[in-house]
Structure 1
Amino acid sequence: MHGHTIEELSDYLDRGRTPADPSIDDSPECEIALRSLERLRRVQLNLLDSDLSRESARDDSWVSSILDNISREAHRGREIPLAHPSPTARLVVTEGAVRGILRETGDRMANIIVGRCVLVGDVEVPGMPVTVQVDVTIFQGENIPMMADRLRQLMFAALQQYTELVVAAIDITVRDLYVEPDAAAAPKGE
Structure 2
Amino acid sequence: MLGLEPEDLDGHSIEELSDYLDAGRRPPNRAIDESARCQNALDALERLRNITPALLASDLAAEPEPQESWIQGILGSIALDARAGRRIPITATIADADLGITEGAVRGLIRAAESSLPGVVVGRCTLDGDVTEPGAEIRVSVELSVPYGADIPETVDRLRGEITQRIAAHTTLNLSGVDVAVQDVQYAPNRSEERL
With the shorter chain as reference, the TM-score category is 0.5 to 0.7
Which of 56, 60, 66 is the aligned partner of 2:66?
60
Structure 2 residue matching 1:138: 3-state secondary structure: strand
Q: Provide the rounded CA distance (Å) in 1 between the counterparts of 2:73 and 2:56.
A: 21
Residue 59 of structure 1 deviates from its aligned partner by 2.9
Residue 140 of structure 1 deviates from its aligned partner by 0.3
Q: Provide the rounded CA distance (Å) in 1 between the counterparts of 2:112 and 2:99.
A: 22
Which of 166, 178, 181 is the aligned partner of 1:170?
178
Greater than 4 Å deviation, 4+ residue runs: 48-51
Q: Alignment RMSD, CA only?
A: 2.2
State the match for 1:145 in structure 2: 153
Residue 68 of structure 1 deviates from its aligned partner by 2.0
Percent sequence identity over aligned pairs: 32
Q: Show CA shifts across 1:64-106 (max 9, x none).
A: 3211221122101111111123442211011000001011111
Residue 51 of structure 1 deviates from its aligned partner by 5.2
| Structure of higher CA gyration radius | 2
1:1-190, aligned counterparts within 5 Å?
A: 52-54=57-59, 55-56=61-62, 58-61=64-67, 62-180=70-188, 182=189
CA contact (8 A) 1:107 1:114 kept: no
User: What amino acid is the match of 2:71?
Assistant: V
Q: Provide the rounded CA distance (Å) in 1 between the counterparts of 2:54 and 2:80.
A: 29
Residue 57 of structure 1 deviates from its aligned partner by 5.5
Q: Show CA shifts across 1:94-141 (max 9, x none).
A: 100000101111122112111111000000111111010000000000
Question: Structure 1 residues 57, 152: CA separation in 2 closer, same or farther (over 3 Å shift)?
Answer: closer
State the match for 1:36 in structure 2: none
Q: Provide the rounded CA distance (Å) in 1 between the counterparts of 2:63 and 2:179.
A: 33
CA contact (8 A) 1:78 1:95 kept: yes
Aligned length: 138
> Which consecutive residues of structure 2, in runs of 5 or more, have no partner in the other structure?
1-52
Residue 49 of structure 1 deviates from its aligned partner by 8.3
Structure 2 residue matching 1:110: 3-state secondary structure: coil
Question: Structure 1 residues 110, 133: CA separation in 2 closer, same or farther (over 3 Å shift)?
Answer: same
Q: Greater RCO between the two (CA within 8 Å, min separation 6)?
A: 1
The TM-score normalised by the length of structure 2 is 0.64
